[in-house]
Amino acid sequence: MSLLDRLLGRFTMYRLVTVVLLALAAVAVVQSALGVLDSSVFGVRALLTTLVVLVATSLLVNLAVGRLVGARPHLESSAVTALILWFLYWPSADAEQLAWLALVAALAQVSKYAIAWRGRHLVNPAAAGVVLAVLVGWITDWPVPFTGWWVASESLFWFVLVGAVLVLHRTRRLAVGALFAVVAVAVTVGWQVGTGVGLADAARFTAYSTPIVFFGGFMLSEPLTLPPRRAQQLGVAVLAGLLFTWPLLTSRLFGEPWTSEPFTSTYELTLVVTGLVAFALRQGSRTLVLREQRSRGGDVVEYVFDADRPLRFAPGQYVEVDVPHRGTDTRGQRRMFSAVSAPGSEVVLATRHPEPGSSYKRALAALTPGDRVRVTSVHGDFVWPASGPVILVGAGIGVTPFLSQLAAHRDRDVVVVVGERDDQPYVAELESSGARVVRLPVEQVRGDVLAELVPDLDRRTALVSGRPVFVDTVARSLRGRVRRTRRDHFLGY
């Protein structure tokens, strides 16, 4: 596990995005003060005033609407939305213009509850706010402002690029962001070259004058509006790249852009479409009612829930569980868990409860039978291949996804390797599954040892689960020794 992973792992996804966007905002304000950004357009007073209006409106509206509908508002999400909108609209100190921007921020927050299904918003809130504001202006002929996407500037480009890479790395969406960028850059550069612009100038224009990097890093990457599986996410990335550049693409292919009023730009509409596609591909939220807690030895506790509707997932995927509580620490009120149980109405999750524990773990431990939590999403590609022999390698609580997988694949050729830690949970359950189970001290779980114990190791697909350091170390030691390796990555680490 790299130093970067350890550092970024200290932040929740929302906290990291908030910090990075605030850092970019600080860079913009400093550049304005130094005259790098045109002070007649990007004055420090206008920048700060606009930021305050957007953030304050977002927080207040989210609080008000959340309480009105009986939901617990996620205030950090509101701050992220406000910061994104700040980079989209031209700054202003004019009271009327600020009032319109406040309307956009309010619409963005309302969209979280209005454009939602079973407590889960369907569309990126910033994009939804922009689209709704454009529609309001078009229907009423009110002077609602249009986006300028001023974040696309030469002076900010490298700062935005670094921030986007950090966010995409933390959320494991680098491939998604990169594929979107490749498609969008190819179309944009191709259009420029087709109009007679030289390749170097076309590339410079694409980098410095289009918001491709910002869009891919901070907006398209939102896990809540992406499909659950990697292949689906990559497909959405390609779709987003084509829709993002739709006016240029159709202009190049057909001689004129295929757009219609009031949307001459398709940036925000892209996220509306991809959000709806993702919604069609993913499972909605589920309410879980705690039935009982069980000690599994040491500090491991198992939670048995009854779902209001059967929970559907591919064995090995992880579920995100929201446990609302007061005094939420920096890691927030959501965590990822691999399900111990098979898909269905009974949902069994397990976790360690180290002392003193996060606010989330304390709230989880305080649950009593009858208390409710919510599964907000299902994600991951830690699933078995369609065919062929498999070797499962796990340690500690990392063996939990194997139980669900073994229950679903009883006739497959599988070897389970358990790197035993103190009070190793679920050993008996794994041994009773019918699979061959190899138990080793955790420090002995490495490629050369497994090659001696499993003669046909090179024919097997390896699935490695556990703490990030264990997963990375074992996966590296298996390179060249197995057919392929799949790692269990949690966004929550």
Q: How far are the Cα atoms of 286, 321, 359 from residue 324, in angstroms, in the given order?
A: 15, 10, 10
Higher-pLDDT residue of 14, 277: 277
286-379: in CATH 2.40.30.10:
yes
pLDDT of residue 327: 78
What tokens were used for 222? Answer: 């939102």
Higher-pLDDT residue of 264, 36: 36
Cis peptide before 369 (omega within 30 of 0): no
Mean predicted lDDT score pLDDT of the chain:
92
Higher-pLDDT residue of 296, 213: 213
Write out pLDDT tens, residues 412-471.
999 999 999 888 999 999 999 999 999 999 999 999 999 999 999 999 999 999 988 899
pLDDT of residue 436: 96
pLDDT of residue 71: 73
Contacts of 35 (CB under 8 A, 6+ apart): none
Average pLDDT of 184-210? 96
Q: What's the pTM value of the predicted model, to 2 decimals?
A: 0.84
Average pLDDT of 370-381? 90
Average pLDDT of 311-335? 84
The one-letter code for the residue type at 418 is V
Task: Kindly provide the residue ranges of all beta strands, DSSP E only, lying in 262-332, ordered along the sequence.
Answer: 286-295, 300-311, 318-322
What tokens were used for 384? Answer: 């078995």
- pLDDT score of 396 more than 80: yes
The one-letter code for the residue type at 208 is Y
User: Residue ranges of the domains in the chain?
Assistant: 3-281, 286-379, 390-487
pLDDT band at 490 (very low <50, low <70, confident <90, very high): low
H/E element holding 419? strand 414-420
Average pLDDT of 241-266? 92
pLDDT band at 1 (very low <50, low <70, confident <90, very high): low
Fold classified for 3-281: Ammonium transporter fold (1.10.3430)
pLDDT of residue 197: 95
What tokens were used for 280? Answer: 């069609």
pLDDT band at 404 (very low <50, low <70, confident <90, very high): very high
Beta-carbon count within 10 A of 472 CB: 17
- pLDDT score of 28 more than 90: yes
CATH of 390-487, one of 3.40.50.300, 3.40.50.880, 3.40.50.80, 3.40.50.410: 3.40.50.80
Average pLDDT of 462-489? 92
What tokens were used for 41? Answer: 């357009």
Cβ atoms of 295 and 365 closer than 8 Å: no
pLDDT band at 75 (very low <50, low <70, confident <90, very high): confident
The answer to which of 65-79, 140-154, 337-351, 474-488 has the lowest mean pLDDT is 65-79
The one-letter code for the residue type at 73 is P
pLDDT band at 411 (very low <50, low <70, confident <90, very high): confident
pLDDT band at 493 (very low <50, low <70, confident <90, very high): very low
